[in-house]
Structure 1
Amino acid sequence: MPNLIYQAQPPLEFIPPAFKPWFLEAVHLLLPTWLRWKSAISQIEADDVEVLVDLYRQFQEGKIRFLIAFRHPKTQDPFCLGYLFSQIVPKVARQMGVSLQHPIHAHFIYDRGIPLWAGSHIGWIASSLGGTPIQRGKADWTGLRSARDLFANGRFPMAAAPEGATNGLSEVVNPLEPGIAQLGFWCAEDLHKAGRDQQVLIVPIGIKYSYVEAPWNAIAKLLSELEAASGLPGDTKVYNNISPIESLYPRLLRLSERLLSLMEQFYTRFYHQKLPEVKNQTEDANEVIAARLYVLLDVVLQVAEQYFDLQPKGNFSDRCRRVEQAGWNYIFREEYKDIKALSPLEKALGDRVAEEANLRMWHMRLVESFVAVTGKYVREKPTAERFAETTSLIRDMVTRIRGGNPFKSPPLGKQRVKITIGEPLSVSQRYPVYKASRQGAKQAVADLTKDLQQAMESLVVKGE
């Protein structure tokens, strides 16, 4: 994390949503200018917005409750959704002759950890926009109750990223967390108990980034910087009459091999980890790199898990969330609610624990950046976008290792954003199965999560 936490502190407080209409109005007013001057985004367009317009019409007429489940490849996604709500939806509604009450907005769920690295003011901003926080790695009942109440009773629809975190890749959807489906069934349950006949829906939304002009020169420059940082000699070959991807791809493979070797040596030598041997059963360099990366990520996570006495259960994303929560538990502690009751020595020991926990979480952050990397992303579709995204992920890792802030990395070029509205998934139609039995509820959540995953993956293709 950019802002390292070296001291033990009281438990993280829940930040209650406190929607301020005047603040949303100011955000909507300033957002187009902010995007133009402070971001790399030069154009935002959307497909099938008519679906969303009709959903807002039905919501405002009291017929439905719905949650927007959006793709989350980059940290700029919330700004793109804000533009969708404030600019595109009202415009399309006017074209359709549909009268919508303003503002068009959504309550949203955000990670409670964001204000820790982005600044405490982000908590105030999120709260003022009607957002509610959640601690991802534990059963955060306060956060869940707030989200559940907003879904059933809030002034606006809900919005959440079912992937749980960004992955940096526009065309790869991380495994979805089941919490979004569970929220949908809770909403249906709450409406049923209250005698309300509103239908509950989940609406998948795709977000895809592309470059206005292929940033091959910027990619080549970034590769040179990464090669120098990792101790590789610069590429002096002369490439004539071949495409940029053909000239740069060998360098990307060479850089990947170098970084893997350095990190393997680092964890073997200094953390005494034994790396399982990756048998070279293919001559495909991509397959070998992918296999080595998987083994390395597993070992890196184990370094953090061993410190926190955690068992490696689930996929990489699940394990990252548990490590994160274990770290928060070491840093934000109940006994620090009354810090005056602690002796100076107790406080100093607590600070040592907090410092060590934060350092162990650093290993998890490395893995978090690469959970979606397969080794085939560029090869199977060698576009400038995929090359840039992969190279940027490597840059972020190198930046993190060198103690920098990966969130402040400069963009490689101007981008356009394509938002695609998917077909709503009915939660209400599945509710009878959910309420029939405990096993039925478990299966209903799993099935809805699976269907949402497929829907969001289909939007990746549709948004091309």
Structure 2
Amino acid sequence: MPNSMTNVQPPLEFIPPDFQSGVLKLSQWIFPWWIRFKTPITEIQAENVEQLVELYQQFQQEKVRFMLAFRHPNPDDPLSISQLFWRKIPQQAKKQGIALKSPVHAHFMYDRGIPLWAGNYVTWLFPKLGGTSILRGKLDRQGLRSARNLFVNGRFPIAAAPEGATNGLNHQVSPLEPGIAQLGFWCVEDLQKAQRSEEVLIVPLGIQYHYIRDNWQALAQVLTQMEADCGLTTNNSQPIPSSLYPRLISLGNYLLDLMENFYRQYYHQHIPTDQTEELPIRLQRLLDIALQVAESYFAIKPKGSLTERCRRIEQTGWDCIYREDIKDLEALSPVERGLARRVAEEASLRMWHMRLVESFVAVSGKYVQENPTFDRFAEITIIAWTMITRLKGGNPSQTPYLGKRRVQMTVGEPISISQRWSDYKASRRQAVENLTQTLQAALEKMSQPESKP
């Protein structure tokens, strides 16, 4: 988290889209360089791109409006998707003899919190690439109005991650947020009011990352470092799955013991001491308790999934830091400013519990056991490393390097929202829920394990 999180700040302002073609052209030149030299990605593949070519042609002919709803397992997803639009679609269109108008691009929704940790350049860049900000933890009317307008009237299709945040797992889709489905129905409604006939679609996009080589040696070194950080005796056996899995489980049990005692002793939480309970049960209980500690401070009633609770805590914490109730920070007296800073500091400290949880919201405790591939080992190891790094007070974004990676994107079958309009008129809540479940199933199908070529 940036240093500003420990001091009172002005309100988080909505960042409107401000697309500029010159910035897009510059990004089209810089992004491939950035991917090559600043990420472990060496190869980007895409399946069923012809589907998007046809949809993009229909979009430009004003026959459809569509949203690309993409899986979000990794922070590098936007870079990968940029190459889908800027390179893969134009190349496939040329093969099919279809002349698409340039540029081939997409508007996109992004979390308003991203610029807080990514830096000022993102605050400048995202709007000029056609992005529109959204606050995840509350009803952001201005952000929703902007996204709704882009869906109906934007120069390009719009892209969004219905999971709301990364979960670090290729084959486990987090519960989807219903806002994406609602935006789709609003698009149908707005088009009908404008007497326009475009069909409204949601296009699922699966994204998976695979290591080019199974580097068990590098994985063993990360495990060894984590064991050392925890004061555990290192097992220097051969770096093979059969020896690494017990070490991973042992590390997990140690961390559970440590954190259970932490919340038991310092936050007065009642946690059973039954060591015979399975790891998944203990993990889910610990995540719930960690959120309760933060919710108790902010006087928030626990409600919804772990992800929903995380977003609610985050937004409440931001409300204590980015103060909408203070019109002019400079007008505060030194004493008032000191109190405001105290509120911000305490809110930031309580949000720390939520940050621990959000890394684990999709972790079942059986992910590796179900299919002990190197990719799954690496994903869970990185999640554990992130937790240990947070406990140490380090930077969790600087993850260990385990090797070069290949990105596999899969374009799914379009889901017609227009065809569900009668269902929406009959029951809005049920229609939104059904569409969300359909999209969830589509993304989960595309997230099934695949064999390496």
TM-score normalised by L of structure 2: 0.97
Contact 1:420 1:462 in 2 (8 A): no
Contact 2:171 2:449 in 1 (8 A): no
Question: What residue is the counterpart of 1:449 in the other structure?
Answer: 436
Question: What residue is the counterpart of 2:347 in the other structure?
Answer: 357
CA 1:81/1:3 → structure 2, altered by over 3 Å: closer, same or farther? farther
CA 1:167/1:3 → structure 2, altered by over 3 Å: closer, same or farther? farther
Aligned amino acid, residue 206 of structure 1: G
Contact 2:210 2:407 in 1 (8 A): yes
Rounded to whole Å, the distance in 2 between the matches of 1:339 and 1:8 is 8
Question: What residue is the counterpart of 1:128 in the other structure?
Answer: 128
- Within 5 Å, which residues of 2 pair with 1:119-268? 119-237=119-237, 239=238, 244-268=240-264
Rounded to whole Å, the distance in 2 between the matches of 1:462 and 1:399 is 29
- Which of 260, 266, 281 pairs up with 1:291? 281
Measured after TM superposition, the shift of residue 10 of structure 1 is 1.7
Rounded to whole Å, the distance in 1 between the matches of 2:449 and 2:218 is 28
Rounded to whole Å, the distance in 1 between the matches of 2:90 and 2:31 is 15
SS at match of 1:138: coil
Aligned amino acid, residue 159 of structure 1: A
- Is 1:68 the equivalent of 2:68? yes
- Is 1:17 the equivalent of 2:13? no
- Within 5 Å, which residues of 2 pair with 1:392-431? 392-431=382-421
Rounded to whole Å, the distance in 2 between the matches of 1:276 and 1:191 is 56
Aligned amino acid, residue 331 of structure 1: I
CA 1:454/1:148 → structure 2, altered by over 3 Å: closer, same or farther? same
Aligned length: 451
SS at match of 2:5: coil
The C-alpha deviation readout for 1:86-119, integer Å capped at 9, x for no partner, is: 1111111111111111111110000001111111
Rounded to whole Å, the distance in 2 between the matches of 1:230 and 1:268 is 19
TM-score normalised by L of structure 1: 0.95
- Is 1:104 the equivalent of 2:104? yes
Question: What residue is the counterpart of 1:284 in the other structure?
Answer: none
CA RMSD of aligned residues (A): 1.3
The C-alpha deviation readout for 1:412-457, integer Å capped at 9, x for no partner, is: 1100000000000000000122124xxx111110000000000000
Contact 2:222 2:400 in 1 (8 A): no
Aligned amino acid, residue 445 of structure 1: V
The C-alpha deviation readout for 1:282-339, integer Å capped at 9, x for no partner, is: xxxxxx1111101110110011000000111111001001000100111111233212
Return structure 1 stretches of 4+ with deviation > 6 angstroms.
none
Contact 1:301 1:367 in 2 (8 A): yes
The C-alpha deviation readout for 1:51-103, integer Å capped at 9, x for no partner, is: 01111000000000000000000100000000111111111111111111111
- Which of 299, 309, 325 pairs up with 1:335? 325
Rounded to whole Å, the distance in 2 between the matches of 1:176 and 1:277 is 34
CA 1:250/1:462 → structure 2, altered by over 3 Å: closer, same or farther? closer
- Which of 307, 310, 334 pairs up with 1:344? 334
- Which of 300, 306, 314 pairs up with 2:304? 314
Measured after TM superposition, the shift of residue 197 of structure 1 is 0.4
Rounded to whole Å, the distance in 2 between the matches of 1:190 and 1:412 is 48
- Is 1:388 the equivalent of 2:378? yes
Contact 1:276 1:295 in 2 (8 A): no
Measured after TM superposition, the shift of residue 2 of structure 1 is 4.8
Contact 1:110 1:131 in 2 (8 A): yes
Gaps of 5+ in 1: 282-287
Rounded to whole Å, the distance in 2 between the matches of 1:277 and 1:432 is 53
Rounded to whole Å, the distance in 1 between the matches of 2:96 and 2:40 is 31
- Which of 378, 383, 386 pairs up with 2:368? 378
- Which of 325, 335, 342 pairs up with 2:315? 325
SS at match of 1:461: coil
Measured after TM superposition, the shift of residue 462 of structure 1 is 7.6
Rounded to whole Å, the distance in 2 between the matches of 1:401 and 1:24 is 39
Measured after TM superposition, the shift of residue 4 of structure 1 is 5.2
Aligned amino acid, residue 390 of structure 1: I
Aligned amino acid, residue 83 of structure 1: Q
Aligned amino acid, residue 428 of structure 2: A
Rounded to whole Å, the distance in 2 between the matches of 1:93 and 1:400 is 46
Contact 1:10 1:335 in 2 (8 A): no
The C-alpha deviation readout for 1:193-241, integer Å capped at 9, x for no partner, is: 000000000000000000000121110000000000011011144x5xx
Please say which of residues 401-410 and 216-225 is displaced more in the overlay: 401-410
Contact 1:3 1:116 in 2 (8 A): no
Rounded to whole Å, the distance in 1 between the matches of 2:313 and 2:111 is 15
- Which of 447, 450, 453 pairs up with 1:460? 447
Aligned amino acid, residue 447 of structure 1: N
Aligned amino acid, residue 332 of structure 1: Y
The C-alpha deviation readout for 1:362-413, integer Å capped at 9, x for no partner, is: 1100000000000110011010000000000000111111111111223211
CA 1:434/1:462 → structure 2, altered by over 3 Å: closer, same or farther? farther
Question: What residue is the counterpart of 1:47 in the other structure?
Answer: 47
Rounded to whole Å, the distance in 2 between the matches of 1:124 and 1:187 is 28
SS at match of 2:263: helix
Contact 2:382 2:400 in 1 (8 A): no
Contact 1:396 1:406 in 2 (8 A): yes
